[in-house]
Structure 1
Amino acid sequence: MQYTAPGRVNLLGEHTDYTGGLVLPMAIPFATTASISAADAGYRFTSTAFENTRDTYAGDDTPKANDWSDYPVGVLRELLALGLEVPPFSLNLDGDVPLGAGLSSSASIEVATTVALLHHSKASLSAQEMALLCQRAENRYVGSPCGIMDQFVVTAAIEGHALLLNTRDLSFEHLPMNSGALAECSVVVANSMVKHSIANGDYGTRRNELEVGQAAICQAYPQVRDLGDASMEQLEACRSAIPAESYLRCKHVITENARVREAAESMKRGDAAALGDAMNRSHASQRDDFQDSVAEIDFLAATAVTLYGCYGSRLTGGGFGGCTVNLVLTTAAESFQRDLASAYRKRYQIDAEIYRCTPSDGAVARLERNA
């Protein structure tokens, strides 16, 4: 049997998902497929993209391998921790989600593995439970301090829509991407080919800096649960009590939550120009306040908005490389892709991978559709 989970691109709401904030991602056509078959003993993981095989057993507490296999093994460990009896299996992963591009290849692997192992075990979890399990696998075993956004949208997205998610209580709303002027637009993703990993030190450092500021605000204002509740006025009042870096990180998150709210209303109106403006301001905030962009990404974003038909461009994903997401008139998408690639090649001698992405079904909707 085969089970599929997509990648995702985040339209807006970066580094807000581990501080009770708002995010606005959508699933994309790139996906991971998990093929599973019964085995006589143990658990075997293979991948068409990598040569090594990973074998493990129930109760096996061997150290992580620090490679692709940690993601599905982490999922297995979390399922076993729930008390689920998982029969022996052989599982192979295949897919086309670009690795290290900020399009959530890791969550795609985790969710595809989860769906496959649940069906192999004749068990079930809700979409929310699956997303949280995958987040635990990445936090506890892989060692990446990721939030819940990636796993949730990869699980719960539906075709033609973005997903507005409140990461504190996991309430969500599907927002149409085909109303008003948005119906005449395409989402274009530009892969800088600069690799990133959110398990490395840069991501963790930014998160720690952010949490220092959040703690100071919550101490000064006990009614504030996290940065999802905080205001710029409260941050300014605490500015002298926190390091300069923490101030900037918190400034990004608080203003980013406001931009997501603006963007959601823009999407409900079908207002492409307003959504694009929020995206542009988001990139400036990531570049200047959260400081997780790089020169190649800044060039792609700055160049994109000079090209005909582009409403907005921003860094998407964990940062320090990866991709930009661009809102572009569909009639201009072909020339936009060509001209952006040409400018990037001329500046950096790198061939960017640029692709148009349509809002796609998450793993649950794909499973229901194929049932």
Structure 2
Amino acid sequence: MNQKLRKTVAEQLVRTFGPGEPLILGRAPGRVNLIGEHTDYNDGFVFPMALDFEIVVAGRRRADRTVRLLAVDLREKVEFSLAEPIVFDEHFGWSNYLRGVLKLLQQSGAELPGMELAFAGDVPLGSGLSSSAALEVATAIVVQRMTGFGIERPALAKLCQRAENEFVGMNCGIMDQFISMMGEQDHALFLDCRSLEYRQIPLELGAYRIVVCHSGVKHSLVESEYNRRRQECEAGVRVLAAHFPEIKALRDARPEQLVACQNELDPVVYRRCRHVISEDARVLESIQALNHGDLVRFGQMMNESHDSLRDLYEVSCSEIDLLVELARQVPGVLGARITGGGFGGCTVNLVAEEAVDRFTERICRLYREKTGIDARIFISKAADGAQIIE
């Protein structure tokens, strides 16, 4: 809980736009996905937790139809009118996450007033910890409170995902917005991305901690390669469905069905499908391991997940692979893997509490020696999802 951040956002809105209506403050967390990567847009299973890093949005009504947006950290502001259609902003790209949410709320029947919205956060940008989803979700709950628009939280998360898909142009799955909206303290969230059925799973780690390592890199091909992976998965489904009509998405396919179609599949597409099918199975096995208190098996699943993402899905990079390699060499580390969309960002690690200091020193020193980049280390407990701050 970052009280200073919340105070800063509120003060900056008033300082920038002057006096006005009472403020509504909302927060939404970033997330780390413990396991289940690139499965969400294949109707599969994911297992993320909300982090205790957040985006805070302050908002208030205006008497006219003008919308003013303020990015506190960037010291940038934009303005547009609701008397005209909400359009994509080529210059201030950050504003499109808010614009998209407003447009989708409008299309869903919300009566939007003019408003002022300001935001800032402590979710590391470009880290793969879903600062964009947190911004969308925090915006959505503030505007929902402002308008009284009636919509259930899972549906509001879905609306935020559509805003990123249809307005921002990033073809993400539902996981990021859903965990930011629905997270629960001391729990990770098992989500069926087809039905949106979910279960809060107690994250009973005993003497172990979730440690996130930020690589300090984000390669520029992430968006184009992400969308290409989706296309490759869809190509695989078309071949599989021709033989097995019950397969509507890769989540429906069994390993033996994939093997039966191997000769008809492009080798790259085959590898992509093999990752997704095995990753869904790993999510289910990981939750079973947690339920039995078997953290060693949970860590093994994390390791297998990374190896699959590196070799079959090919979304890792040399810096991330180095972080994982260094982590696995530290006594007391049960598992280490890439998390997020790939091509940089972060790793997530399951580390014995007594080994965290040793882990941090070794990773930072050796990573710096080999890359010249300073890794950043975050330790987080599972946090609550989005909330209006009363």
TM-score grouping bracket, smaller chain normalisation: over 0.9
Matched residue type, 2:79 = D
- In the TM superposition, residue 192 of structure 1 has moved relative to its aligned partner by 0.2
Following the alignment from structure 1 to structure 2, what is the Cα–Cα distance between the partners of residues 83 and 38? Answer: 18
Name the counterpart of 1:75.
101
Superposition pairs for residues 79-98 of structure 1, below 5 Å? 79-98=105-124
Who wins on radius of gyration, i.e. which is larger?
2
Superposition pairs for residues 153-168 of structure 1, below 5 Å? 153-168=179-194
Instruction: Give 3-state SS (helix, strand or coil) of 1:350's partner.
Output: coil
Structure 1 residue 243 corresponds to structure 2 residue 259: no
Following the alignment from structure 1 to structure 2, what is the Cα–Cα distance between the partners of residues 77 and 89? Answer: 14
- In the TM superposition, residue 187 of structure 1 has moved relative to its aligned partner by 0.3
Following the alignment from structure 1 to structure 2, what is the Cα–Cα distance between the partners of residues 103 and 219? Answer: 37
Tell me, yes or no, if the aligned pair for 1:209 and 1:246 is still in contact at 8 Å. yes
Matched residue type, 1:62 = V
Following the alignment from structure 1 to structure 2, what is the Cα–Cα distance between the partners of residues 210 and 48? Answer: 39
Is 208-217 or 72-81 further displaced after alignment?
A: 208-217
Superposition pairs for residues 200-349 of structure 1, below 5 Å? 200-349=223-372
- In the TM superposition, residue 124 of structure 1 has moved relative to its aligned partner by 3.1
Long gaps (5+) in structure 2 = 1-23
Structure 1 residue 8 corresponds to structure 2 residue 26: no
Structure 1 residue 111 corresponds to structure 2 residue 134: no
CA separation of 1:283 and 1:199: change in aligned 2, threshold 3 A:
closer
Tell me, yes or no, if the aligned pair for 2:302 and 2:337 is still in contact at 8 Å. yes
Following the alignment from structure 2 to structure 1, what is the Cα–Cα distance between the partners of residues 203 and 222? Answer: 32
Tell me, yes or no, if the aligned pair for 1:101 and 1:196 is still in contact at 8 Å. no
- In the TM superposition, residue 307 of structure 1 has moved relative to its aligned partner by 0.3
Following the alignment from structure 1 to structure 2, what is the Cα–Cα distance between the partners of residues 345 and 199? Answer: 23
Tell me, yes or no, if the aligned pair for 2:237 and 2:248 is still in contact at 8 Å. no
Following the alignment from structure 1 to structure 2, what is the Cα–Cα distance between the partners of residues 8 and 198? Answer: 22
Name the counterpart of 2:173.
147
Q: Which of 44, 49, 52 in structure 1 is aligned with 2:76?
A: 52
Tell me, yes or no, if the aligned pair for 1:100 and 1:196 is still in contact at 8 Å. no
Long gaps (5+) in structure 1 = none
Which digits, 9 at most, give the CA deviation of each residue in 1:210-257, with x for residues without a partner? 111122112211112211111111111112222111111111000000
Matched residue type, 2:68 = R
Name the counterpart of 2:200.
174
Instruction: Give 3-state SS (helix, strand or coil) of 1:247's partner.
Output: helix
TM-score (norm 1): 0.95
Matched residue type, 2:117 = L
Following the alignment from structure 1 to structure 2, what is the Cα–Cα distance between the partners of residues 89 and 79? Answer: 14
Instruction: Give 3-state SS (helix, strand or coil) of 2:112's partner.
Output: coil
Matched residue type, 2:285 = E
Among all aligned residue pairs of Structure 1 and Structure 2, give the percentage whose two residues are the same amino acid.
Answer: 41
Instruction: Give 3-state SS (helix, strand or coil) of 1:18's partner.
Output: helix
CA separation of 1:324 and 1:176: change in aligned 2, threshold 3 A:
same
RMSD between aligned alpha carbons? 1.4
- In the TM superposition, residue 200 of structure 1 has moved relative to its aligned partner by 2.1
Name the counterpart of 2:213.
190
Is 287-296 or 335-344 further displaced after alignment?
A: 335-344
Which digits, 9 at most, give the CA deviation of each residue in 1:70-116, with x for residues without a partner? 11110000000012101111000111111111100110000000001
TM-score (norm 2): 0.91
Name the counterpart of 1:357.
380
Instruction: Give 3-state SS (helix, strand or coil) of 1:192's partner.
Output: strand
How many residues in Structure 1 have an aligned counterpart in Structure 2? Answer: 364
Matched residue type, 2:47 = L
Matched residue type, 2:72 = T
Matched residue type, 1:269 = H
Tell me, yes or no, if the aligned pair for 1:43 and 1:90 is still in contact at 8 Å. yes
Is 111-120 or 333-342 further displaced after alignment?
A: 333-342
Runs of 4+ in 1 over 6 A off after TM superposition: none
- In the TM superposition, residue 191 of structure 1 has moved relative to its aligned partner by 0.2
Following the alignment from structure 2 to structure 1, what is the Cα–Cα distance between the partners of residues 34 and 279? Answer: 12
- In the TM superposition, residue 57 of structure 1 has moved relative to its aligned partner by 2.4
- In the TM superposition, residue 50 of structure 1 has moved relative to its aligned partner by 1.6
Name the counterpart of 1:99.
125
Tell me, yes or no, if the aligned pair for 2:88 and 2:168 is still in contact at 8 Å. no
